[in-house]
Structure 1
Amino acid sequence: MATPALFKPLSLRSLEVQHRGWVSPMCQYSCDPVAAPGVPHDWHLMHLGSFAAGGAALILTEAAAVNAAGRISPRDAGLYNDEQAAGWERIVSFVHRHGVADTKIGAQLAHAGRKASTYWPFSGEKGSVPVSDGGWGTVGPGTAAFDGFAPPAAMTDEDIRAVIADFTASAVRAVDAGFDTIEVHGAHGYLLHQFQSPLVNDRTDTWGGDAAGRNRLTLAVVDAIRNVIPDSMPLLLRISATDWAEGGIGIEDSVHLASQAAEHGVDLIDVSSGGAVAHQRIQPGPGYQTGFAARIRRETGIATGTVGLLTSPGQAEHVVATGQADGVFIARAALRDPHWWLRAAFELGHDMRWAPQYERAVPRHAF
């Protein structure tokens, strides 16, 4: 039987990814905000390690903030000090040792901007965390707040250049920790997306105005990281292909950004959508974002990954086999079934290695 498209390898620079089924970044909001802020620990190792044992070929970490103020919540992970880097290095080593698909792992580097210092989803609270409860002041392109959050301080040119330096330093830490790739988080209404979106960025200086100005920070971060990581290491960029709101980013804007990103050394666009404003009108459905990835791939030639309500192996196989994307990122479906990729291989008729400890459970007739 021919190898299913989902299980064919993909080369990104010198990185060989064994198949096209990957783990999307998923924040766990599980770091200790007092004893070890931003430091990943046993929960993160178990969470990501289960996907490695379950057959994922590429795992992206949750958003790792590039400085303390860039964390989405006080319980978010970071990659801006040595203790955090050591925590990630332990997880990277574990994934490399136990991944049954020669699993690769990438660090997603992020800054939440005006959406930082918020309560985590299962806290029982909503909105911004006050300083008295462990929160901090936030920053953004301007002073307009995301609905229900505290207003940010408008970033100065010096602030912006400091954030670029923070992304660069975190990238160096990621390389030193043994990560196989890096993804820049430029989506979901976080800082880089805030600068990209005309619904948020009303600056008139070099970091705003037209599309070139609004995309300048994202491309500057890409350039800075590309300059400090090995040429052999692929660089990924997650974007929101549309703001789902009138006057915001549309797919044409994202095609243009993806084309520029490719020229600046990005190797794959991880295509998501939304998050810039609360009044967005998303139209969800199975694979509802895949068309964006397909258009970017078709019109720019850059590799793309797609995500969003892709839950079954048959769906994922169809997306890759028809050339809509080069890879499929699995999120909530992976939380429900950390062995999603082993099940996918069985359902698609692909012979995939299992961990020897689990071989007695290899299915013969039904998963």
Structure 2
Amino acid sequence: MTTTLFEPITVRGMEVRNRLWVPPMCQYTVEKRDGIPTPWHLVHYAGMARGGAGAIIVESTGVVPEGRISPNDLGLWNREQQEAFRPVVEAVHAAGARLGIQLQHAGRKASTYREWGVARPGGSVPEGDGGWQTFGPSATSFPGLAEPEALDEAGIRGIVSAFAGAARRAVDAGFDFVQVHGAHGYLVHQFLSPLSNARDDRYGGSLENRARLLLEIVDAIRAELGDAVPVMVRLSASEWVDGGFDVEEACTVVKWLGEHGADMVDISSGGNVARAPIPVGPGYQVPLATAVKHSTGMPTSAVGMIEHPWQAEQIVATGLADAVMVGRAFLRDPSFALRAARALGAEVDYIPEPYARAYRQHQQLL
């Protein structure tokens, strides 16, 4: 049986074997705090590739040290990090999946403690414990975190250059595509939102000005990588409060992104307003992705509590999105994609031979 979910999709010449993808999910496992991937990352990403994912996006990766969410995040600001990613890329490719990486600057939400662990006091990590001064579009802190320093234009130019440099290192390490993190209240989103951007220069005020940083980053990456490599962007298309960055503005920005050489957007929401009334539920962000896709024509992926194979199939089969990003289900079961194929009756030819007898003999579905 053929299903839309398990049909291939092509993005700027990159063919992906199916439309069931893994979004970036922070692991916070760089214990040496040097940004270098570890054996955990190799096993983590290779396992989901072996389990049938079409494409996988490596978690939030700082383009500069102060761009990390926590000291335990990955980085891609030097060659040592670049070379350490090679085995991860090779393992994912050997299992037949495509691998991208989310390039990130956390802005005012950087230098925080990781989400788990016995010594997590919350708030910002002080410099004495490995933290650093944070930066943002304005000197306005996120609730509970330290006050950031407002970036000047020289600082902005440095960040744009850092994104382009990290993209080059990613491709040189073998990654198939890159994704710019413009969501969840991190630096690019902070510039996009009138709730966190109080600038009165050419990076603040109008939507065109607030989107300038993102478009400059995409321009710099495209100039660095040329025409062959797909460039994707993740956006929060709603802040779920009045006066915030919303789906109408997101659609306008996505149209501009297409004109600047972006190839696909992943539509999420929230993250920039503490305690926003987000209506969390199964597929709650899919309507945002659909609105963006239908308004702009940009290839779009949907994310957020997509837990079941038939739910994912319905999203892509009815044209609500072009691909789905499934996170927690892959964390629970790295072979979620292969089990989803069985549940939907889809025939796939990438079950690993050493595991094939398990799929032949075991008839219980999800």
In the alignment, which of 113, 119, 130 is matched to residue 107 of structure 2?
Answer: 113
Q: 2:326 aligns with which of 322, 325, 330?
A: 330
Using the aligned pairs only, state the percent identity.
47
Query: What amino acid is aligned across from residue 94 of structure 1 in structure 2?
Result: A
Match of 2:49 among 48, 52, 73: 52
The CA distance in 1 between the partners of 2:43 and 2:134, in whole Å, is 31
Tell me if 1:250 matches 2:246.
yes
Question: How many pairs were matched up?
Answer: 361
Cα separation, 1, equivalents of 2:113 and 2:142: 14
Whether the aligned pair in 2 keeps the contact of 1:272 and 1:289 (CA below 8 Å) is: yes
| In structure 2, C-alpha distance between the alignment counterparts of 1:94 and 1:49, rounded to whole Å | 6
Which letter maps to 2:6?
Answer: F
In the TM superposition, structure 1's runs of 4+ consecutive aligned residues that sit over 3 Å from their partners are: none
Measure the CA separation in 2 of the matches of 1:201 and 1:33: 34
Cα distance in 1 for partners of 2:163, 2:276 equals 28
1:76 aligns with 2:73: yes
- TM-score (normalised: structure 1): 0.97
1:266-324 Cα shifts (integer Å, max 9, x gaps)? 11110000001214110111100000111111111010000000000000000000000
How many Å separate the matches in 2 of 1:356 and 1:317? 26
Q: Which residue of 2 aligns with 1:341?
A: 337
TM-score, normalised on structure 2? 0.97
Q: Output aligned runs, 1:61-210, within 5 Å.
A: 61-97=58-94, 99=95, 102-123=96-117, 124-210=120-206
- By how many angstroms is 1:32 displaced? 2.3
- Specify the alignment match of 1:43 in structure 2: 40
Q: Distance in 2 between matches of 1:154 and 1:73?
A: 20
Range moving further from structure 2, 350-359 or 186-195: 350-359
Corresponding residue of 1:366 = 364
1:165-214 CA deviation, whole Å, 9 max, x = no partner? Answer: 00010011011001000100000000000000000001000011110000
> Does 2:13 match 1:14?
yes
1:22 deviation in Å?
A: 0.2
Q: Residue by residue, what CA displacement relative to the aligned partner does 1:46-93 show, whole Å, maximum 9, x if unpaired? A: 111110110001000001100000000000001111111112111001
CA RMSD across the alignment: 0.9
Q: Deviations over 1:216-236 (max 9, x none)?
A: 000100010011113121110
Q: CA deviation at 1:33?
A: 3.4
1:291-310 equivalences in 2 (<5 Å):
291-310=287-306
Q: Residue 354 of structure 1 is aligned with which of 351, 354, 357?
A: 351
Partner of 2:274: 278
SS of corresponding position for 1:362: helix
Residue matched to 1:4: 3
Instruction: Output the amino acid matched with 1:17.
Output: V
Instruction: Give the aligned residue type for 2:328.
Output: R
